[in-house]
C-alpha cells in the first residue's frame, strides 16, 4: 500500500507540472537566450518603476528619492512573488520558453526550485543592489562612540576602515561576477553568480522549442543599427548649409545672378543678410552682401565653416564696410 501511495503521489506531482516535468534538463540552452531573459527581466523592472513613479509626479520633486532603494527592492520582491515563486520562471524566461531547474536534485528528470532556493535567488539578486545604494548611509550608524577628541579620532579611523572594507568587498564581488561570466561563456550555464550559488539552472520548458525571434529579423536589426550609427557619425561631418547653398545656386543661379546684377550696389547694403534689418556696424565676409557685426560675429563663432546664406560663398574674417559719401550742391 505504501508503494502504491508513493506512485500516486509521483503521478500527481507529474500531472501538476504538466509536460514540463518530462523535459530533459541536460538539453543545452543558448547563451543568447539566457542573456535575453535577463535583459527582459531588467526592462520589466524598469517599466514597473517608471509606472510607479508616475503615480507621484504631482508631488514635490525628489519625493521618492529618500526611499528609492527600498521601493525598488519592494517592487522586485513583488515581481518575484508572482513570477519566480509561483512558476519557477521569470517573465523573460517565460517569453523564451525557459524556466529554472534545481541543480541539487539527484534525479535526471526536471525538478523545480525549492522555496529556499527561490528565496535565496531573490535575496542574492536584490540584496547587493540595495546594500550598494545604502552603504554610504549605513556607515554613520556604525560609529556609535562617546564624545571626546580620542573617540572622534577612533570613530574616524573606524569609518575609514569600514569604507575601505566595503570597497574591497565590492571589488571582490565584481571580480567574482566577471569570472562567473567568463565561465558562463565557456560552458553556457549560470550567467549570474546568484544562480550558481543557489543551484538554479536554466532549462527549456517545452520540447523541441525554437527561438521566437527569427535570425533574419535579428540580422536586419543589426544592419539597421549599424547603418544608423554610421549616419550619426557622418552627419556632423557634412556642412549642410554649404550643400544647401550650392544646390540653390546651381538650380536658381541664373535668375539670382540677373536679379542681383539689376540691383544697385547701395541697395545690397540696406539689409543684413542674416537678420534682414538695417545693418548695424555693417561688415562683409568677402562677398557683396553685408551683415550686422553682432550677427556675423556670433554666427562665425558658432559655426567655423560659415557660408553666406545669400550666395553660398565661404565666409572669411568679418571686415568693416567703408562707405564713401559724395556731397553735391543743389
- Say if 299 falls within a structural domain: yes
The span from the CA of 6 to the CA of 175, in Å, is 47
Arithmetic mean of pLDDT, 296-303: 81
Same domain, 200 and 122: yes
**Banded model confidence at residue 3, pLDDT cuts 50, 70, 90:** very low
Same domain, 78 and 190: yes
Same domain, 200 and 80: yes
The span from the CA of 45 to the CA of 53, in Å, is 12
Question: Which tens digits make up the pLDDT trace of 260-292?
Answer: 444 445 566 778 878 878 888 888 887 878 888
Position 255 scores a pLDDT of 45
Same domain, 60 and 167: yes
Find out whether 203 and 29 touch, Cβ atoms under 8 Å.
yes
Find out whether 99 and 89 touch, Cβ atoms under 8 Å.
yes
Alpha helices in the chain (DSSP H): 2-17, 31-54, 68-82, 84-87, 91-95, 115-142, 149-187, 193-198, 215-234, 240-262, 293-302
C-alpha cell at 224: 539597421
Same domain, 82 and 191: yes
The DSSP call for residue 291 is: E
Position 184 scores a pLDDT of 93
pLDDT at 183 over 90: yes
The span from the CA of 73 to the CA of 55, in Å, is 18
- Say if 252 falls within a structural domain: no
Position 1 scores a pLDDT of 44
The span from the CA of 104 to the CA of 146, in Å, is 50
pLDDT at 243 over 60: yes
- Say if 106 falls within a structural domain: yes
What domain range is 51 assigned to?
Answer: 31-142+162-204
* Residue (of 330, 282, 289) closest to 309 by Cα position: 289
Same domain, 90 and 176: yes
Question: Which tens digits make up the pLDDT trace of 76-96?
Answer: 999 999 998 988 889 888 888
Instruction: For residue 293, give the CATH number of its domain.
Output: 3.30.40.10
Q: Domain tally for the chain?
A: 2
- Say if 68 falls within a structural domain: yes
Same domain, 282 and 133: no
The span from the CA of 301 to the CA of 293, in Å, is 12
Amino acid at each position: 500500500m505504501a508503494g502504491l501511495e508513493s506512485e500516486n503521489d509521483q503521478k500527481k506531482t507529474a500531472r501538476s507540472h504538466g509536460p514540463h516535468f518530462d523535459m530533459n534538463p541536460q538539453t543545452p540552452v543558448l547563451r543568447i537566450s539566457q542573456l535575453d531573459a535577463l535583459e527582459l527581466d531588467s526592462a520589466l523592472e524598469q517599466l514597473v518603476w517608471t509606472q510607479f513613479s508616475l503615480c507621484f509626479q504631482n508631488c514635490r520633486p525628489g519625493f521618492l528619492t529618500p526611499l528609492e532603494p527600498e521601493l525598488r527592492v519592494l517592487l522586485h520582491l513583488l515581481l518575484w512573488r508572482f513570477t519566480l515563486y509561483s512558476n519557477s520562471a521569470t517573465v523573460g524566461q517565460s517569453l523564451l520558453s525557459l524556466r529554472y531547474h534545481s541543480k541539487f536534485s539527484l534525479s535526471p528528470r526536471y525538478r523545480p526550485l525549492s522555496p529556499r532556493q527561490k528565496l535565496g535567488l531573490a535575496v542574492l539578486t536584490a540584496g547587493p543592489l540595495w546594500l550598494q545604494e545604502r552603504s554610504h548611509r549605513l556607515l554613520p550608524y556604525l560609529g556609535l562612540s562617546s564624545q571626546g577628541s580620542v573617540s572622534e579620532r577612533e570613530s574616524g579611523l573606524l569609518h575609514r576602515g569600514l569604507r575601505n572594507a566595503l570597497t574591497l568587498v565590492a571589488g571582490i564581488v565584481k571580480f567574482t561576477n566577471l569570472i562567473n561570466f567568463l565561465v558562463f561563456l565557456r560552458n553556457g550555464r549560470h550567467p549570474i553568480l546568484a544562480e550558481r550559488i543557489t543551484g538554479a539552472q536554466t532549462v527549456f520548458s517545452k520540447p523541441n522549442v525554437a527561438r521566437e525571434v527569427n535570425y533574419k529579423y535579428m540580422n536586419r536589426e543589426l544592419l539597421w543599427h549599424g547603418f544608423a550609427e554610421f549616419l550619426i557619425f557622418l552627419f556632423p561631418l557634412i556642412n549642410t548649409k554649404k550643400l544647401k547653398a550650392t544646390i540653390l545656386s546651381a538650380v536658381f543661379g541664373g535668375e539670382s545672378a540677373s536679379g542681383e546684377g539689376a540691383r544697385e550696389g547701395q541697395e545690397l547694403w540696406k539689409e543684413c543678410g542674416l537678420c534682414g534689418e538695417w545693418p548695424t556696424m555693417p561688415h562683409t565676409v568677402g562677398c557683396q552682401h553685408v551683415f550686422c557685426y553682432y550677427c556675423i560675429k556670433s554666427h562665425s563663432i558658432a559655426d567655423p565653416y560659415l557660408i553666406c546664406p545669400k550666395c553660398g560663398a565661404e565666409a572669411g574674417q568679418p571686415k568693416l564696410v567703408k562707405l564713401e559719401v559724395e556731397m553735391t550742391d543743389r
